[in-house]
């Protein structure tokens, strides 16, 4: 209820206005049961006063919390390396909270609960891909938050121009005369999955190439939201079993490309393939890829968060890195690279 006041809360909770005031200001002497009741009603009425946002007496905890949806994802691990190295320059401990998505729309309540509990002095969100309306709601809690791998006008952020990355991969194939290009996506309903499919379609449309829906595939395994070797393996098997298989393939992550390359090896087929991320293993297996500066993203986001914690009123800053196409042996087949 927009515009709710402590009077509304007191009436609905059946307590005095003084009790509500003491709860939202985190004063002592309130029974836990009463405190929980008042806070629950405050949430139901959408009441987020400055005093409530400052809750728990704003005691410094010397903790930075990283919030991630898929902790075992290789992308996250390399971003975390940058965070850990940078945070060692400050007097803060690092905690990691793994929110569970499993393709369900249940991430925001978990994230909101984390912020409400105020377990940390600042938060780094890695690829949580919350809606703008949800991020706006989190701003009501007045906690320092820096976003990684996404952006929102009201919060500091560090990201990569994904559209440019997909465009570079697709144009490489198209410029070399290949038009029947498949894309191995992760979970299609996820925000990054949708964005990369949209970028793929846009590149084909601009080149005057028809989009063939049977070339947009994902594996059946949704472990790590589909960003896994198994998903890439299963997707490539599907592509190679088509009556008219693709001439080349773009994968929405390197780790899916690893599985896809294994499938091609087993089938005795080799088509040009490009991944996305440039995780460490890509160099050792000769995988062409779109490089994201993952380590730098983590380090810079940590710096921005520390700066935000010192100056809460500063205008939000956004850094968008340019992705880089890295060519290796996986694109040599049937594609003549420029000298």
Name the nearest CA neighbour of 281 among 262, 250, 255: 255
Q: What is the 8-class DSSP label of residue 137?
A: H
Q: What is the pLDDT of residue 270?
A: 94
Q: What's the N-to-C CA distance of the chain in angstroms?
A: 64
Q: How many CB atoms lie within 10 A of CB 78?
A: 19
Which residue, among 318, 301, 299, 297, has the nearest Cα to 309 in the 3D structure? Answer: 301
Residue 219 structure tokens: 């594996």
Distance CA 283, CA 326 (A): 10
> What pLDDT does 204 receive?
96
Q: What does each C-alpha distance from 310 to 28, 121, 157 come to in angstroms?
A: 28, 11, 16
From residue 311, give the alpha-carbon distance in Å to each of 301, 304, 315, 318.
15, 10, 9, 16
- Residue 181's CB is within 10 A of a number of other CB atoms, namely 26
Alpha carbons 108 and 193: distance in angstroms, whole number: 18
pTM given for the model: 0.77
Instruction: Sheet containing 93-98: give its strands across.
Output: 93-98, 63-68, 122-126, 145-148, 156-160, 318-321
Structure tokens at 226: 């589909």
Question: How far is it, in rounded angstroms, from Cα 248 to Cα 173?
Answer: 7
- Output Rg (C-alpha) for the chain, integer angstroms: 24
Q: Which residues contact 105 (CB under 8 A, 6 or more apart)?
A: none
Instruction: Output the CA angle 154-132-203, nearest 5 degrees.
Output: 105
Spatial separation of the C-alpha atoms in residues 17 and 229, rounded to whole Å: 57
Half-sphere exposure of residue 305: CA atoms within 13 angstroms, side-chain side = 31
**Tokens 């894309």 sit on residue:** 183
pLDDT mean for each 10 residues of the chain (339 residues): 68 85 75 86 70 49 88 82 94 88 71 86 92 90 93 94 93 96 86 84 95 95 83 97 97 96 96 96 96 96 96 94 97 56
Pair type for strands 181-184 and 324-326? unpaired
For 222-274, what is the HEC assignment? CHHHHCCHHHHHHHHHHHHCCCCCCCEEEECCHHHHHHHHHHHHHHCCCCCEE
pLDDT in the model for residue 105 = 60
């Amino acid at each position: 209820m927009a515009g709710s006041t402590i009077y509304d809360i007191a009436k609905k909770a059946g307590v005095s206005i003084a009790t509500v005031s003491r709860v939202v200001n985190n004063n002592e002497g309130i029974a836990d049961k009463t405190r929980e009741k008042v806070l629950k009603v405050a949430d139901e009425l959408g009441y987020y006063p400055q005093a409530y946002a400052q809750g728990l007496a704003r005691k410094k905890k010397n903790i930075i919390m990283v919030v991630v949806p898929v902790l075992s994802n290789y992308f996250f691990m390399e971003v975390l390396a940058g965070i850990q190295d940078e945070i060692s320059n400050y007097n803060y401990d690092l905690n990691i909270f793994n929110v569970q998505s499993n393709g369900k729309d249940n991430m925001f309540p978990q994230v909101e609960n984390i912020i409400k509990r105020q377990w940390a002095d600042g938060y780094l969100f890695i690829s949580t891909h919350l809606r703008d309306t949800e991020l706006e709601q989190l701003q009501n809690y007045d906690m320092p938050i820096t976003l990684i791998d996404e952006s929102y006008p009201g919060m500091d952020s560090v990201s990569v121009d994904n559209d440019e990355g997909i465009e570079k991969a697709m144009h490489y194939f198209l410029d070399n005369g290949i038009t029947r290009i498949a894309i191995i996506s992760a979970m299609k309903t996820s925000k990054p999955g949708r964005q990369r499919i949209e970028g793929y379609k846009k590149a084909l449309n601009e080149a005057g190439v028809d989009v063939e829906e049977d070339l947009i595939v994902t594996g059946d395994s949704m472990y790590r939201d589909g960003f896994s070797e198994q998903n890439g393996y299963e997707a490539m098997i599907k592509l190679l079993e088509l009556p008219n298989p693709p001439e080349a393939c773009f994968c929405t992550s390197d780790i899916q490309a690893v599985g896809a390359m294994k499938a091609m090896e087993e089938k005795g087929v080799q088509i040009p393939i490009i991944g996305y991320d440039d995780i460490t293993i890509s160099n050792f297996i000769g995988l062409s890829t779109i490089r994201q500066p993952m380590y730098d993203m983590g380090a810079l986001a940590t710096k921005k968060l520390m700066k935000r914690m010192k100056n809460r009123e500063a205008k939000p800053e956004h850094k968008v890195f340019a992705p880089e196409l890295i060519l290796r042996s996986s694109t040599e087949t049937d594609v003549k690279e420029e000298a």
